[in-house]
Amino acid sequence: MGIRFILLVNKQGQTRLAQYYEYLTLEQRRALEGEIVRKCLARTEQQCSFVEHRNYKVVYRRYASLFFLVGVDNDEVNL
């Protein structure tokens, strides 16, 4: 329960920081990062900052040119 991963990604989709709090293989990490980053970067500013992906709820926020993405369990409260 709780936070499963934290990602910092720039506007071009390059991962600047990745911290995982559960074990995932390198291939799983790459696939997960690619899918989530594409989903979040494609969203407009008018859309909410919560995305459900696989068994995670992703909460993201853009500050300047960086996106901060936090993956939590589906049963966690959004706030």
- pLDDT at position 78 is 65
Task: Note the pTM of the prediction, 2 decimals.
Answer: 0.86
Beta-sheet strands, E only, within 1-79: 3-10, 15-20, 50-53, 56-63, 66-73
Domains of the chain: 3-73 (3.30.450.60)
Alpha-carbon distance of 37 to 34, in angstroms, equals 5
Name residue 61's beta-bridge partners: 68
Does pLDDT of 79 surpass 80? Answer: no
17 in Cβ contact with 33 (< 8 Å)? no
Q: 74 falls in which pLDDT band (50, 70, 90)?
A: confident
Residues 15-70 have pLDDT tens digits of 999 999 999 999 999 999 999 999 988 988 889 889 998 889 999 999 998 999 99
Interacting residues of 31 by C-beta distance below 8 A, sequence separation 6+: none
